[in-house]
Structure 1
């Protein structure tokens, strides 16, 4: 129930329903009041004119009651239907998010085990051809693991989960990124050994997605990280690479499921970074 009220669509639908129904009731009562007022004034006329006026007003009063009742009923039915459809959509989305979260969480353990065994085989097999195959296996396992982490983090974003803010060493986060992308040289010589209040998992996700985009779409092999202290105890981190760059509309970057070139990609990585 708390999840239901957290959703703004349900909240605004209920507000819309209350305001619209209130206006409808006000119009309905005002019409009846005006009809009764006119009927009272008509009663003060002569008998023949008053009798004819009262018949007309009685018909108009019945018409207002019938049309007003129908209008309010349709208004109420439409509002309730809108709220029910929004609630059903929320429940369905929650089920989908929970499913993906469960699947990605369950797959992380076997993927980590597969990667560990592949690394062990790579050290033990001296044959160049076999080593090349193991390297390809490692590369694909890292790619799958990255997609799983991205899907799980995307699900947490859509559920508006609270970030766990802690004192985080930025250099250690980049070292962790370098372990996942050994083919990418990360230059940390211009990065100060600083700590920032941040969610470590969120920070790792941001930097890993940037590294993957540089490697995959920019064809870069060097990533340079520069830090510069700002006022108010803030720090500016600049990340550059030696890749081909981006030839497209920058305003479209970060839009999910929108391709920006011939390379495969969903745009979810940059969407997570922006979010």
Structure 2
């Protein structure tokens, strides 16, 4: 219902803007025709005022539509966060009530403890993601710049994601194209780990048929480090590739998978990359054809052979 109202509001403001522009054109040209021939100065003044008025109307309409869409993304974020927080809390509450009211064996109790630990981890991950997004939107550079072995960090994150989701060894692998060189970047290791894990979590979540993740590590000719995360998931429509990095933005129309989220993951990824002097881009050949998230970071120049 809310999305329908917002679409109606966008259509209304666009229509209103077009009508106002058309009215201004008619009135202004009429004024110019009537007065322009007798008073050349008024003709010039009328043209200038006409251009300013049309530009103001167009800018005003654009800002109105952007504000409506921004509010829509924020409402979607609030709904998603409410679900992400409420679901594990309700599950923990139910487990606690069951433990309190029913006699059960030690194995059964341990099973409930395990479920509560998983729900608590999910709750904590959601809170940490929101906090990181808030921090990322305010910081312009990395807090701590220390040498980070990106190869080792990538392998650590790949192993972590495989363990979390119980993936087969062949489902997650790295292709090292750096020819044995040490790949060192300067940055905050925890921020970089968070960015990598966000990309990998998305790759798993949006691969409902089967997970296949390939991380390609390379050294670009311009001195940057390139890390590309390829998945075989549902893909992203071409029109949405740039917008997926916006805060609160979530890709719509992917009927093959129903994934809850906050719309903050890739926003955090790009923010972290830019704080480290790099960038993040997305590529996909369309729905059902997987996605490639490319991470670029400046190297420290320490590309000697690995020990």
TM-score calculated relative to the size of structure 2 = 0.41
Relative to the length of structure 1, the TM-score reads: 0.46
Q: Which has the higher contact order (CA 8 A, sep 6+)?
A: 2
Q: Which has the higher helix share?
A: 1
Rg larger for: 1
